[in-house]
């Protein structure tokens, strides 16, 4: 990989395995460094990239211009030479093996740095058990990005149709304006939780399901706070996708405007044990309590997004208080060091004895690299 790029300094990075593919490709696109990923399920019975990964790569190809993607015959080696982020209007049929959240998480990271503001229509599974659902991202990732100065009229995530796994058939529209620079943040005080909101949705099942979920979730949460409102969202007809199911997303908002969330959805039709809506509501509420126990200014699913935006900020100190780092975030931190040579200062903050505010918190501090959106054209 040495010095074959037309006398330029840019070097490539090598990785192994299919895990963290999104992180690697997203960071590669943002940093302009090419990546080569080898041994993708090479020891597996079905070696190579899965359909959903191929679909993700195709989406990446749609939003960029001039990317070079090479995959070997068996699909075990992927070479990616990033192009420039182009944006514009993009339509993509996401593979139903993973939910739209899988694709959307990457788009959230890329969208502010495109040439034209992005309008992406994604079709597929909106809610499933594996990935953060679109409702969760809408209620937590978007307000988080607003803190970094990514704001404005066209910043929206709209759930047009819902679709549960395995059939899918949902549709979301994500629009995001472009920014030249990202503002540094000091999110050290999460503040106290003032309200809890949520969405209980039910598709192709009795509308009563949603009410049952709400009932049981409230029973758990009412011990802490009176201000709880859980919307019921029962979609009908064409808007309800292809498979039945139901679920709940809960979001706790603090006084300082940070959002902690938890979610749960029913097991896909024909896979695993069926769940009772009461159990689902109760368990989801407990998950929210767990998330609150972890605490921090950013919830556990969006840790990596917050850290990325801090890295890409101006050359100023950014601080954010997180709960315990998730394994995914730890890998993301390592990747950030590989791609941007940025290391975070990680300080563990122990809560005082007399305070009942959950577990240890982690204060992440870094100096941004002074990233400026080179794709945005100057007229």
Partner 1 sequence: MEPLHQQKHSGPKAERKKLKKQGGSTEEDERKRNPRAFAVQSAVRMAKMFHRSQDIKTKKHHIPLVDRTPVEPPPVVIVVVGPPKVGKSTLIRCLIKNFTRQKLGDVCGPVTIVSGKKRRLTFMECNNDINTMIDLAKVADLVLMLIDASFGFEMETFEFLNICQVHGSPRIMGVLTHLDSFKNNKALRKTKKNLKHRFWTEVYQGAKLFYLSGMVYDEYQSQEVKNLGRFISVMKFRPLVWQTSHPYVLVDRMEDLTDPERLRTDPKCDRTVSLYGYLRGTYLKNKGQVHVPGVGDFQVADVNFLPDPCPLPDAQKKRALNEKERLLYAPMAGVGGVVYDKDAVYIDLPANHVNQQVCALQPTTELVQSLIDAHSTLDAKMAASKVSLFKTVQPLWKDNLHKKASEAFQRQQEAAPNLRKLVYGSVVEADDSEEVEEELGGLFRVSHPQKKKRVIANYVDCSRFNPDTSHNWDLEEMLSSIRDCFVTGKWEEDQDAAALLKEDEKLFGEFEDLETGEVHQGLAEEDAVHDAEDSLVKVDLEEVQKKKRLEKKRRLKERFDAEYDDGDATYFDDLKEEMQKQAEVNRAEFKDEDDETRVQYEGFRPGMYIRLEISSVPCEFVINFDPHYPIIIGGLGSSEGNIGYLQMRLKKHRWYERILKTRDPLILSLGWRRFQTIPLYHIEDHNGRHRLLKYTPQHMHCGASIWGPITPQGTGFLAVQSVAGMKANFRIAATGVILDLDKSVIVMKKLKLIGYPYKIFKNTCFVKGMFNTVLEVAKFEGASVRTVSGVRGQIKKALSAPPGSYRATFEDRLLMSDIVFLRSWYPVSVPQLYNPVTSLLLPVGQKDSWGGMRTLGQLKHDLGIRSKPSMDSLYKPVTRAQRHFNPLHIPKELQKALPFKSKPKQQQCKGKTPRDLQRPSVIREPYERKVAALLHALSTVHNHKRKKAHMVQHGKHKEFLQQKEKQEEAKMRRQKEARKKLYRVMGQMEQKKHRSSLKGAPQDV
Binding residues for partner 1 restricted to 246-305, rule: CB under 8 A: 255, 286-287, 289-290, 292-295, 300-301, 303-304
Question: Quick check: 362 and 349 in contact, CB under 8 A?
Answer: yes
Stretch that binds partner 1, among 145-153, 155-163, 272-280, 342-350 (CB under 8 A): 342-350
Distance between CA atoms of 155 and 146, rounded to whole angstroms?
A: 9
Stretch that binds partner 1, among 60-68, 87-95, 148-156, 267-275 (CB under 8 A): 60-68
Give the one residue of 61, 93, 278, 316 binding partner 1; rule: CB under 8 A.
316
3-state DSSP assignment of residue 28: helix
C-beta of 328: minimal distance to partner 1 in Å?
Answer: 5
Is the CB of 186 or the CB of 239 nearer to partner 1?
186
Verify binding: residue 138, partner 1, rule CB under 8 A. no
Distance between CA atoms of 266 and 244, rounded to whole angstroms?
A: 9
Is the CB of 108 or the CB of 200 nearer to partner 1?
108
Stretch that binds partner 1, among 116-124, 146-154, 161-169, 319-327 (CB under 8 A): 319-327
C-beta of 140: minimal distance to partner 1 in Å?
Answer: 12
Verify binding: residue 238, partner 1, rule CB under 8 A. no
Contacts of partner 1 in 176-235 (CB under 8 A)? 184, 186, 192-194, 220, 223-226
Classify strands 317-322 and 361-367 as parallel, antiparallel or unpaired.
antiparallel
Question: Quick check: 169 and 182 in contact, CB under 8 A?
Answer: no
Of 211, 232, 131, 205, the closest CA to residue 172 belongs to 131
C-beta of 171: minimal distance to partner 1 in Å?
Answer: 22
Q: Name the DSSP class of 138.
A: I
Q: Name the DSSP class of 331.
A: H
Is the CB of 45 or the CB of 237 nearer to partner 1?
45
Is the CB of 30 or the CB of 235 nearer to partner 1?
30
Question: Quick check: 105 and 132 in contact, CB under 8 A?
Answer: yes
Verify binding: residue 371, partner 1, rule CB under 8 A. yes
Question: Quick check: 139 and 251 in contact, CB under 8 A?
Answer: yes
Distance between CA atoms of 72 and 24, rounded to whole angstroms?
A: 18
Verify binding: residue 126, partner 1, rule CB under 8 A. no
Sheet holding 87-93, edge to edge: 87-93, 116-124, 170-176, 156-161
Question: Quick check: 67 and 81 in contact, CB under 8 A?
Answer: yes
Question: Quick check: 218 and 279 in contact, CB under 8 A?
Answer: no
Distance between CA atoms of 324 and 53, rounded to whole angstroms?
A: 28
Give the one residue of 121, 239, 267, 326 binding partner 1; rule: CB under 8 A.
326
C-beta of 79: minimal distance to partner 1 in Å?
Answer: 15
Verify binding: residue 378, partner 1, rule CB under 8 A. yes
Contacts of partner 1 in 96-115 (CB under 8 A)? 102, 105, 115
Stretch that binds partner 1, among 18-26, 164-172, 197-205, 234-242 (CB under 8 A): 18-26
Give the one residue of 151, 152, 155, 328 binding partner 1; rule: CB under 8 A.
328
In degrees, rounded to 5, the angle at the alpha carbon of residue 62 between the alpha carbons of residues 90 and 41 is 125
For residue 106, which phi and psi values (nearest 5 degrees)? -70, -40
C-beta of 160: minimal distance to partner 1 in Å?
Answer: 24
C-beta of 372: minimal distance to partner 1 in Å?
Answer: 6
Verify binding: residue 346, partner 1, rule CB under 8 A. yes
The helix or strand, by DSSP H or E, that contains position 99, with its residue range, turns out to be none
Residues 69-88: x where in contact with partner 1 by CB under 8 A, - otherwise, as a string:
--------------xx----
**Strand partners of residue 120:** 90, 174
Give the one residue of 4, 8, 14, 45 binding partner 1; rule: CB under 8 A.
8
Q: How many CA atoms lie within 13 A of 353 on its CB side?
A: 0
Neighbours of 180 (CB within 10 A): 14
C-beta of 234: minimal distance to partner 1 in Å?
Answer: 26
Verify binding: residue 90, partner 1, rule CB under 8 A. no
């Amino acid at each position: 990989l040495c010095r074959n790029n037309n006398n330029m300094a840019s070097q490539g990075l090598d990785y192994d395995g299919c895990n963290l593919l999104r992180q690697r490709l997203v960071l590669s696109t943002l940093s302009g460094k090419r990546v080569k990923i080898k041994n993708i399920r090479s020891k597996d019975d079905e070696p190579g990239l899965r359909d959903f990964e191929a679909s993700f790569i195709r989406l990446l190809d749609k939003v960029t211009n001039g990317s070079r993607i090479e995959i070997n015959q068996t699909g075990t080696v992927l070479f990616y030479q990033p192009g420039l982020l182009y944006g514009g209007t993009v339509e993509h049929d996401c593979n139903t093996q993973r939910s739209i959240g899988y694709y959307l998480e990457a788009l959230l990271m890329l969208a502010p740095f495109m040439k034209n503001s992005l309008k992406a229509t994604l079709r597929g599974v909106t809610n499933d058990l594996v990935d953060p659902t679109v409702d969760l991202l809408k209620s937590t990732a978007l307000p988080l990005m607003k803190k970094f100065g990514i704001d404005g009229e066209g910043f929206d995530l709209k759930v047009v149709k819902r679709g549960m796994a395995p059939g899918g058939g949902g549709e979301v529209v994500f629009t995001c304006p472009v920014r030249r620079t990202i503002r540094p943040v000091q999110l050290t005080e999460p503040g106290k939780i003032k309200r809890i909101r949520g969405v209980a949705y039910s598709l192709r099942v009795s509308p009563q399901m949603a009410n049952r979920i709400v009932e049981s979730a409230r029973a758990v949460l009412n011990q802490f706070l009176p201000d709880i409102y859980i919307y019921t969202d029962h979609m009908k007809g064409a808007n309800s996708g292809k498979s039945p199911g139901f679920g709940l997303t809960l979001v706790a908002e603090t006084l300082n405007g940070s959002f902690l969330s938890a979610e749960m959805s029913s097991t896909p039709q024909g896979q695993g044990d069926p769940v009772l809506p009461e159990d689902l509501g109760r368990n989801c509420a407990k998950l929210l309590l767990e998330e609150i126990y972890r605490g921090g200014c950013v919830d556990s699913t969006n840790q990596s997004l917050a850290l990325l935006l801090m890295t890409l900020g101006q050359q100023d100190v950014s601080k954010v208080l997180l709960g315990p780092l998730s394994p995914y975030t730890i890998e993301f931190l390592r990747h950030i060091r590989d791609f941007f040579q940025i290391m975070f200062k990680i300080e563990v903050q122990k809560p005082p004895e007399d305070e009942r505010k959950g577990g240890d918190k982690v204060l992440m501090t870094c100096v941004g690299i002074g990233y400026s959106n080179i794709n945005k054209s100057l007229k």
